[in-house]
Amino acid sequence: MMAPVNRFKAALAAGQPQIGLWVALASANVAELLGHCGYDWLLIDGEHAPNDVPLMQAQLQAMQSGGAHPVVRIPVGEVWMVKQVLDIGAQTVMVPMVETAEEAALMARAMCYPPEGIRGMGAALARVSRFGMDGDYVATANAQVCLLVQVESVRALENLDAICAVPGVDGVFIGPADLSADMGFPGQSGAPQVQAAIADAMARIVASGKAAGILVGGAEAGRAALAQGARFVAVGSDVGVLRQGAMALRAAVDGR
């Protein structure tokens, strides 16, 4: 059996907007529930959430019955981390804090088997090939992996055009929170200077032909990002949805 078609990658290539949600509660039950809520993609966060490889695998398994495509964010751009999340079944990987074209190129090589890349040939031991039962997986996997790199620093924006030009990078994701801090506005991603930098970055990513992505807070901001040219937009997180919903429900009881 061949590697499954990566419908998220195909949708990005076709210019179809993809609406997502961050998943940070490290719960297979939460991931399964959200997988049935109509989102195009869900981000399993390994950078800031308490996730390890077994927990990520459990969430990938839980999401199989739903309609959302899983994206796994690794903690840092290390080749061995890419290898591990691909082997547990991720097809789309997000790498945080990419600042140079060289870093992006290394991650692109990590995503693919030789001769195109440097991914280790261990699929026969892994969930991704149904533990060796899918004999054609290795021969077809390279075409179905999808690499998203995050630009979230002043240095990354300085190198943005070169990062966008790297073969094997499918999408470039702007990280407003870290970018605002690096620009001297921690916790103020809405500052005019930060928003101007984001708008400029978005335009440059779109002009390069790569898919542009961003994390925003809420539906209105999501629509605005799509209007700017973003192709994959996360509009919130499981933590935020739970917190806001719980607080609103409690307040509604007696107006507190």
Q: Which amino acids are annotated catalytic?
A: 48
Residue pair 68/95 in contact by the 8 Å Cβ criterion: no
Sequence-distant (≥ 6) Cβ neighbours of residue 25 within 8 angstroms: 49, 238, 239, 242
Q: Which DSSP state fits 166?
A: -
Residue pair 57/88 in contact by the 8 Å Cβ criterion: yes
Query: Could you tell me the sign of the dihedral formed by the alpha carbons of 29, 57, 61, 175, in that order?
Result: positive
CB atoms within 10 A of CB 189: 20
CB atoms within 10 A of CB 230: 25
Enclosing H/E stretch for 91: none
Q: Which DSSP state fits 49?
A: S
Alpha-carbon distance 157 to 114, whole Å? 31
Record the tokens describing residue 133, joined without a space: 């039962």
Residue pair 21/39 in contact by the 8 Å Cβ criterion: yes
